[in-house]
Amino acid sequence: MTDPSVIPEENSELFEHHRIVADPGQSLLRVDKFLMFHIANVSRNKIQQAARAGSILVNDKPVKSNYKVKPGDVVSVVLAHPPREVEVTPQEMPLEIVYEDDDVIVVNKQAGIVVHPAHENWDGTLLNGLAWHFEKTGQKIENGFGYLVHRIDKDTSGLLLVTKNEEAQTKLARQFFDHTVERSYQALVWGDVEQEEGVIEGHIGRSLKDRRVMTVFPKGEYGKEAVSHYKVLERFGYVTLVECRLETGRTHQIRAHFKYLGHTLFNDARYGGDQILKGTTFSKYKQFVQNCFKLIPRQALHAKSIGFIHPATGRKMHFDSELPDDMQQVIDKWRAYVESRGG
């Protein structure tokens, strides 16, 4: 039976958060034992890792695992999800490794690659490629393929951070929960975005009509809080290039938020972005857009940069990437159109 005082939080990042209020009759008890009693299927080692990472707070202050919980204490903990119980076979794959050390690896993922094994995608994933890389380079990774701390959609390109041990994963999970990891994306969206910059707020949850897509619930009656910041980088009349910075990391957050804003991502078939924007007098416009779709047969979204505090050294790390060829070619094509019109 689930303890009603434990409030788990769902998140598309690979961590879970629990908040527990100690009963008025709570006897003095070490916080690691207290959490093991209240959270199902968690090991003491996992709890102690969280304590070392500064991820156990009592009354909003970090504590060690031997802290004695008292009546009325508010205990919160962020736990990294354990490795998925799937067999990951090493498979040779071209990987663009941006950075690597004993604790983390940053990969610039190509569009079309699934991050981890799941239904209908049990191999050919990024984790299969990482398992091959670690084996080839003689690295002894406990689970063989690394530990995920966040996700990127199959057809989104860009930077992905993976750790090589559970302690690093636990420390980075706390950073994702605290929204201190800096992530920027670039997206090409339909329409001329009205504001130069803005914030999109609205809970995101699975659509009640189509479980394959996420939708925005602006009154917060369903889903989880989601906040996206954006600014316009370049305008092309019919489409706009924007930069997005995320506070939260909900599934399909940018895709769902811009759909809600009325500016679906260019060629995002799942959210209707493969429908050509109407109301134009542009000669051969339909053919032009279809040619763009052929250049980028996916949503025009790229995870461009990521910044975090290194889990072992404490140094601030920041990585940036170039736009992939398919997205850059489409932007250049729109830019040429604007210039030909004297825009």
Q: Which active-site residues does the annotation give?
A: 153
Match 């993922």 to its residue by tokens. Answer: 109
Q: Which residues contact 232 (CB under 8 A, 6 or more apart)?
A: 193, 195, 196, 197, 240, 241, 242
Q: Which one-letter DSSP state was computed for residue 287?
A: H
Q: How far apart are CA 43 and CA 276, in angstroms?
A: 52
Token readout for 286 is 């339909």
Q: Give me the sign of the Cα torsion angle 66, 67, 72, 75.
A: negative
Q: Give me the sign of the Cα torsion angle 158, 159, 164, 168.
A: negative
Neighbours of 69 (CB within 10 A): 21
Nearest by Cα to 200 from 239, 243, 254, 250: 254
Q: How far apart are CA 166 and CA 2, in angstroms?
A: 26
Q: How far apart are the first and last CA of the chain?
A: 64
